């Protein structure tokens, strides 16, 4: 069952999941005309293959540890770390430990 998107002015909890991380799936928090916000949940060893986005994005590591590779350069993200990417920057993720991340994507009208 898909989780409903947050409504304007609705408070959304983004605290670490802790023991609930194993039962939580990646889900969109909002998708609006200019912005998409997603809580990405990865178990240790899970990967997201290399891809890019038309608009800028930010990644905030809420908990856990991931290797976030931009182009050919790996970056270690731990709880509390934040990263900004320019549009079309190729990137991939690999969870080194169970992790949850807050992904914010600036949407580009007409781009896929």
Domains and CATH numbers, the chain: 21-106 (2.60.120.10)
pLDDT of residue 90: 97
∠ CA(56), CA(7), CA(65), 5° rounding?
Answer: 45
Give 57's strand partners. Answer: 85, 105
Q: What is the pLDDT along the chain (112 residues), one digit of tens a residue?
A: 566 899 999 999 999 999 999 999 999 999 999 999 999 999 999 999 999 999 999 999 999 999 999 999 999 999 999 999 999 999 999 999 999 999 999 999 887 6
Neighbour tally for 16: CB within 10 Å: 13
Which residues, at least 6 apart from 87, have a Cβ–Cβ distance to it below 8 Å?
52, 53, 54, 55, 56, 108
pLDDT of residue 19: 94
Neighbour tally for 43: CB within 10 Å: 12
Tell me which residue has tokens 């939580």.
Answer: 24
pLDDT of residue 109: 84
pLDDT of residue 20: 95
């Amino acid at each position: 069952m898909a989780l409903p998107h947050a409504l304007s002015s609705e408070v959304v909890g983004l605290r670490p999941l802790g023991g609930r991380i194993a039962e939580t799936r990646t889900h969109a928090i909002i998708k609006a005309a200019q912005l998409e916000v997603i809580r990405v949940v990865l178990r240790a060893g899970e990967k997201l293959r290399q891809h890019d986005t038309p608009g800028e994005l930010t990644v905030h590591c809420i908990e856990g540890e991931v290797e976030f590779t931009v182009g050919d350069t790996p970056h270690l993200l731990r709880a509390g770390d934040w990263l900004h990417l320019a549009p079309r920057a190729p990137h991939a993720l690999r969870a080194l430990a169970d992790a949850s991340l807050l992904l914010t994507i600036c949407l580009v009208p007409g781009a896929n």
